[in-house]
Structure 1
């Protein structure tokens, strides 16, 4: 059986490391350009929450809204500084700003304080 503990530890050490959960499963962002995906959502969610890793579960957000957030961007900066491009879809913002967008849309958020006044949507 696969043990994701080491990946979760790596995600906790990198700026922007987090677990995102959607209708297609989960994605653990543990380093710049490095992700781990899977379908054992409930187990991974519990492990990450227990470890204190930020967890964003957007399964409860309407499909149209979450698709707009995911497609139109921006993305969360993981292991790199935020950077902005002409197209927001290619921009990277801080995890706090990215989470604020999903939180405003109604996503379930764990281990992430509300620190950003304006969502990045």
Structure 2
């Protein structure tokens, strides 16, 4: 019988992010990782599954946006492709997750998206 285990699996976040989280907890504060409030998929995964050619090679294609979320308030729409947050290129969902760890409540930045053949910037605030 096959036995499932978690040997050799690793999960990591950048040490500077971990320090920030630990400092908040030590100070008696809670840490809540900011989220955009989207459901998305890597462009490369999407194109390999659908065979559909998008005009862009990397990013996160937004499948849905949760009402009242950071993404919704910024004007993000289903079908948009997230390519950057601030100065960080976003190629995969993993890139997006790592970047979100760097924000805390009150953070603001720019979300760069590809929409209908054009690149636009949206202002986000957590």
Common fold, TM-score beyond 0.5?
no
Please state which structure has a larger fraction of its residues in strand.
2
TM range (shorter): under 0.3
TM-score (norm 1): 0.25
